[in-house]
Structure 1
Amino acid sequence: MSKLEGNERWKTKMIMTEHVEQYEEQQRENPDKMITMEERTMVRDLILLPYIDTMVSKSLKEIEPSSNILKRAYLMAGQAIQRRIMLDTYQLQKELKQRNIRVLADEQEEFLVYYKIFCRGYQERFGLTRDVMRTEISLRLTKYTAELGAILKDHLK
């Protein structure tokens, strides 16, 4: 029986040094159970992809009533990006499931969005600021657009 079991005082916000030592020892003994940076990046991407999909959907809805002569090209490009987002989402979900990692929305504050990560028996709280989310979404949309442009460029050669 560890020092924490059967002791209700562990529920307070204070952490005693022996508890910190126990936690660090537990991490040293089971490093493969903790979430890696690669997995953390995968979780971040999985969180951001639905936001990107929503933004692309809104953009497509704005284009539909337009009388722009390139409307059809814009719609096709947007739909291609949405398909890629769905494929990436599916692949990330599959990979995280294989690694025994689950992500659940937790709470939202004014500038932060929190998620719970359940990773191989451990639970962790993961937060993203809105500024970081905007930046990452912008980078990811730029990447999708560049990929689509490269495909079109190769096809038109």
Structure 2
Amino acid sequence: MSKLDGNERWKTKMLMTEHVQAYEQAERVAGGSNKMLTAEERTMIRDLILLPHIDTMVAKSLRELDHSGSILKRAYQMAGEAIQQRIMQDTYRLQKELKRRNIRFIPDEQDDFVIHHKVFCRGYQDRFGLTRDVMRTEISLRLTRYTAELAESLREQIKPR
């Protein structure tokens, strides 16, 4: 029999804030052995799901460009290829980082509005779903970001010295 037996205060499941903070600090020090996905990891998974879709869209635009008669066709093709190269770099970087964190995912099911993936994270299994509207928005934002980065790098190269 311990000193706490018979003491009614210890039957509750409340935690003091200090204990929660100490536990979280111990988890961080232990190297992030937490089995749940962090917000950063969810963002990485979302991006890795979206990048192949973005690459497909850029490739389709490049194929359509082949049939155009635009005088800037070659410039557009080079820009598209540069964006595709950046997409491949980001995909490789995300795959490497998720593998390092022992996280993998596979497509699960797809209904009219949501695409689900099974996520395996440090021995824990979860489902990750993206709605088509969110995917469209994120793809648009990402393409805008890639285009802006390309434009910025071009501006730096032609900047007068």
2:85 is the counterpart of 1:83: yes
Structure 2 gaps, min length 5: 1-23, 28-32
CA distance in 2, matches of 1:72, 1:97: 37
Match of 2:45 among 36, 43, 46: 43
Runs of 4+ with >4 A deviation? 28-31
TM-score, normalised to structure 1, is: 0.80
Identity of aligned residues (%): 68
Match of 1:109 among 108, 111, 115: 111
- Structure 2 match to 1:149: 151
- Structure 2 match to 1:22: none
Structure 1 gaps, min length 5: 1-27
Deviation at 1:65, TM superposition (A): 1.4
The amino acid that maps onto 1:136 is E
- Structure 2 match to 1:127: 129
CA distance in 2, matches of 1:121, 1:84: 32
Secondary structure of 2:34's partner? helix
Deviation at 1:81, TM superposition (A): 0.2
Deviation at 1:42, TM superposition (A): 0.3
Q: CA RMSD in A?
A: 1.5
Deviation at 1:66, TM superposition (A): 1.0
Deviation at 1:34, TM superposition (A): 1.0
- Structure 2 match to 1:66: 68
CA distance in 1, matches of 2:102, 2:53: 24
The amino acid that maps onto 2:88 is M
TM-score, normalised to structure 2, is: 0.78
CA distance in 1, matches of 2:77, 2:149: 16
Q: What is the aligned length?
A: 130
